[in-house]
Amino acid sequence: MQDEPTPVELTKSVADFLRNDIAPLVSGHQAFKLRVAVNILELVTRQLTQEEGSDAAEVERLRVLLGMDGSVTELNAALAERIAKGEVDLATPGLAEHLWATTMDKLAVDQPNYASYKRELGRNS
């Protein structure tokens, strides 16, 4: 176990420092590259805070859907193979719901400010 600060605290601190202290000092293309760097740090922070829970939920959905155990990577490969073989499709109970939940979990990390994502969150709250 590592001592504090945690990786989440570190990435958040660096992003805050760059946004608040450095961004006002740069302009033009350098400012654009700085915004990209801040966005990357914020994405990593969201991955660190959300990925474990969303991966666990995805694995559980896949276990139920496929009737087998495995890692998230193995289960997704098995699902893709079954879809490719035509053994599973959108008429398969639970598949559409799984795909939707997985997509929403990925958007929560990758694009939490995406308008369509926010709209869907509002519908389901």
Q: Could you report the per-residue pLDDT of 16-44, keeping only the tens digit for each? A: 999 999 999 999 999 999 999 999 999 99
pLDDT-derived band of residue 4, with 50, 70 and 90 as boundaries?
confident
Q: Tell me how long the chain is.
A: 125
Please give the Cα distance from 71 to 91 (Å, whole number).
Answer: 25
pLDDT at 1: 60
Give pTM, 2 decimals. 0.76
- End-to-end CA separation in angstroms for the chain: 36
- Is 125 part of a structural domain of the chain? no
- Mean local confidence (pLDDT), 66-73: 96
Share of the chain above pLDDT 90, in %: 77
- Is 74 part of a structural domain of the chain? yes
- Is 2 part of a structural domain of the chain? no
pLDDT at 117: 87
* 65 C-beta neighbours (distance < 10 Å), count: 20
- Is 36 part of a structural domain of the chain? yes
C-alpha pair distances (Å), 14 with each of 11, 61, 66: 5, 35, 41
Amino acid (one-letter) located at 60: E
- Is 38 part of a structural domain of the chain? yes
* 57 C-beta neighbours (distance < 10 Å), count: 14
Contact 54, 42 (CB under 8 A): no
pLDDT at 125: 66
Please give the Cα distance from 76 to 21 (Å, whole number).
Answer: 42
Domain that holds residue 18: 7-118
Q: How many separate domains does the chain show?
A: 1
pLDDT-derived band of residue 2, with 50, 70 and 90 as boundaries?
low
Packed helices 28-66 and 95-110: angle between N→C axes, nearest 10 degrees: 160
- Is 28 part of a structural domain of the chain? yes
What is the residue-averaged pLDDT of the chain? Answer: 93
